[in-house]
């Protein structure tokens, strides 16, 4: 594979270099407090000492973490990496049953989180379970040294992603994967500026980070992208995302970089109060998670002309690496998801210009799904090619996304796999048959529609799903039919179902 000859050997080395070069620069800015790069490096070994001495965490152990983004969450992730252990990011919106599944997969030594999320585990999870507050109240022990055997191909995190089985699988990512993610992005940005004749910014970026730490969009910038270029990361207060708060923080901290999903950017660019806030510091508007609409393309080119739009196509299994497209090329080609990034290889498994499954190979590729060799073998070959499950074609040297192999629904940037909801629906004795599809939504991109054969009410259907699945997976719409369409071979005809419903 193509790799950078000069690269950091692991993530703590990236942070240590940042603390040396950007010692007093703010690194993590939360509503109530902030840390500079030097302060973060000074505090992490103490957190690592608590995990080591009190909870027995050592090299290769898993530490499950759950909760909204916070300073304690960030430092815990760093402390885990410091010890050569592996963080297990549990989705903060999961129900207790979903969390128990994640714990069963990863078998962590300890679970650390916020009380609100931990309280969902109404049954004993079978392992030590503590709050961030309990961990941080014990600081003061002798600092834990950096694991001397830490290597770039060591696993650092398990990120949960779903597949055709409908049950979350733990994608195991490495130090190398995230370091390469950061270096590839930095190189790409510098080369892009050089080719476009733009001046390289004289100061490090300031990013308003909305991606949760259990997503690659959150943990990637936190552990790699931010420290690699001395970025200051500003975090909004807890609670539902608010465009006015986003605009206010942009003006207050001189934010140079927005990132998010298309639905969030649309709400920002459409907002009537946008002109009341100084967003002149913005240099980049980055997004992913869903294709760009023609409306968003038009707004990006006119509402904030000084900010350069950029879109990436990647996934947890590739640490977000795959393809990228930016600037006027993106605005002029909204249907495209761009060229392969500098260290990525992308191919379409088809003949000629036909639509085929997209495969990616890069140094940021994952090791496999934790504890699931069969699922790993189904998508990752011996040469490192990962079959994404997305369909596309290559036109004019650029990749164009055509469809999703698994009918995935993307609601506000959250990936929802219909089969998981369908499996839950089928467990109800009064539901004879069920199918789940996505329907368009102006703000969220898509919402969940359940089509069921049942005598239940819509409320009863939603309540049944909500008992075991996260709220964002609960169908926003329920339609009742006498029967679902099937082919002669017994295959559910979802496309025909969508047409019959006017989709």
**How do residues 130-174 score in pLDDT, each as one tens digit?**
999 999 999 987 899 999 999 999 999 999 986 445 678 999 999
Treating both helix axes as pointing N-terminal to C-terminal, what angle do 71-82 and 37-53 enclose, rounded to 10 degrees?
70
Q: 169-174 and 206-208 as β-strands: parallel, antiparallel, unpaired?
A: unpaired
Q: 445-454 and 431-441 as β-strands: parallel, antiparallel, unpaired?
A: antiparallel
User: Between these two residues, 350 and 465, which has the higher pLDDT value?
Assistant: 465
Q: What is the pLDDT of residue 132?
A: 98
Helix (H) or strand (E) holding 33: none
Contact 14, 224 (CB under 8 A): yes
Helix (H) or strand (E) holding 133: helix 132-136
* CATH dotted code for 409-500: 3.30.300.30
Whose tokens are 């995302």? That residue is: 241
149 backbone dihedrals φ, ψ, rounded to 5°: -95, 5
Q: For residue 180, how many other CB atoms are within 10 A of its CB?
A: 30
| ∠ CA 179-169-212, rounded to 5° | 55
- The structural domains of the chain, with segments of one domain joined by +, span 176-362, 409-500
Do 176-362 and 409-500 show the same overall fold?
no
HEC string for 60-71 = CCEEEEECCCCH
Percent of the chain at pLDDT above 90? 67
Nearest to 65 by CA among 44, 51, 46, 45: 51
Cα pseudo-dihedral 404, 405, 408, 414, rounded to 10: -70
Distance from C-alpha of 38 to C-alpha of 44, rounded to nearest angstrom: 10
173-201 tens-digit pLDDT: 999 999 999 999 999 988 888 887 787 77
Nearest to 175 by CA among 157, 188, 191: 157
206-261 tens-digit pLDDT: 999 999 999 999 999 999 999 999 999 999 999 888 999 999 999 999 999 998 87
For the 176-362 domain, the top CATH level (class) is alpha beta
319 backbone dihedrals φ, ψ, rounded to 5°: 55, 35
pTM (predicted TM-score) = 0.86
List, as one string, the DSSP characters of 245-300: HHHHHHHHHT--EEEE-HHHHHHHHH-TTGGGS--TT--EEEE-SSPPPHHHHHHH
The mean pLDDT of the chain is 90
338: left (phi over 0), alpha (psi -120 to 50) or beta: left
Residue length of the chain: 503
Contact 297, 247 (CB under 8 A): no
Q: What is the pLDDT of residue 164?
A: 44
Is the pLDDT confidence value at 405 over 90? Answer: no
Helix (H) or strand (E) holding 441: strand 431-441
Q: 431-441 and 169-174 as β-strands: parallel, antiparallel, unpaired?
A: unpaired
**76 by DSSP, 3-state: which?**
helix
| ∠ CA 446-213-186, rounded to 5° | 95
Treating both helix axes as pointing N-terminal to C-terminal, what angle do 458-466 and 418-426 enclose, rounded to 10 degrees?
110
């Amino acid at each position: 594979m193509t790799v950078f000859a000069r690269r950091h050997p692991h993530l703590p080395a990236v942070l240590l270099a940042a603390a040396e070069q950007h010692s007093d620069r703010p690194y993590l800015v939360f509503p109530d407090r902030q840390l500079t790069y030097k302060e973060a490096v000074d505090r992490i070994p103490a957190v690592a000492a608590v995990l080591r001495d009190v909870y027995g965490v050592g090299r290769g152990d898993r530490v499950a973490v759950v909760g909204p983004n916070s300073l304690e969450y960030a430092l815990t992730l760093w402390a885990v990496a410091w010890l050569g252990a592996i963080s297990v990011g549990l989705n903060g919106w999961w129900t207790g049953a979903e969390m128990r599944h994640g714990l069963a997969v990863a078998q962590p030594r300890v679970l650390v989180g916020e009380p609100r999320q931990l309280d969902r585990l109404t049954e004993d999870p079978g392992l030590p379970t503590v709050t961030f507050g309990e961990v941080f109240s014990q600081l003061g022990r002798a600092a834990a040294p950096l694991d001397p055997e830490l290597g770039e191909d060591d696993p650092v995190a398990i990120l949960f992603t779903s597949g055709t089985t409908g049950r979350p699988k733990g994608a195991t990512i490495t130090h190398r994967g995230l370091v390469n993610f950061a270096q590839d992005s930095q190189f790409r940005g510098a080369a892009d500026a050089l080719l476009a004749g733009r001046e390289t910014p004289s100061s490090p970026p300031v990013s308003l980070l909305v991606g949760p730490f259990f997503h690659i969009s959150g943990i990637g910038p936190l552990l790699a992208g931010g420290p690699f270029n001395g970025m200051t990361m500003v975090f909004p207060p807890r609670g539902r995302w608010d465009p006015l708060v986003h605009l206010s923080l942009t003006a207050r901290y001189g934010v140079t970089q927005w990132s998010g999903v298309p639905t969030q950017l649309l709400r920002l660019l459409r907002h009537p109060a946008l002109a009341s806030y100084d967003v002149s510091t913005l240099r980049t508007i980055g997004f992913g998670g869903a294709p760009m609409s023609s409306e968003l393309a038009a707004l990006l080119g006119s509402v904030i002309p000084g900010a350069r739009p950029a879109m990436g196509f990647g996934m947890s299994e590739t640490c977000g690496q795959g393809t990228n497209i930016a600037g006027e090329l993106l605005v002029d080609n909204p249907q495209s998801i761009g060229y392969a990034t500098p260290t990525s290889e992308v191919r379409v498994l088809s003949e000629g210009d036909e639509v085929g499954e997209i495969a990616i190979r890069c140094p940021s590729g994952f090791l496999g799904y934790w504890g699931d060799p069969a699922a790993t073998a189904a998508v990752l070959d011996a040469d490192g090619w990962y079959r994404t499950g997305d369909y596309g074609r290559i036109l004019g040297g650029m990749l164009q996304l055509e469809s999703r192999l698994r009918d995935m629904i993307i609601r506000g940037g959250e990936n929802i796999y219909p089969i998981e909801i369908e499996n839950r629906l089928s467990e109800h004795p009064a539901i004879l048959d069920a199918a789940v599809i996505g329907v368009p939504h102006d703000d969220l991109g898509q919402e969940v529609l359940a089509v069921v054969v049942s005598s239940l009410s819509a409320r009863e259907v939603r309540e049944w799903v909500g008992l075991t699945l996260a709220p964002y997976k609960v169908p926003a719409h329920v339609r009742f039919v006498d029967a679902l369409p099937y082919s002669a071979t017994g295959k559910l005809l979802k496309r025909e179902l969508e047409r019959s419903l006017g989709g």
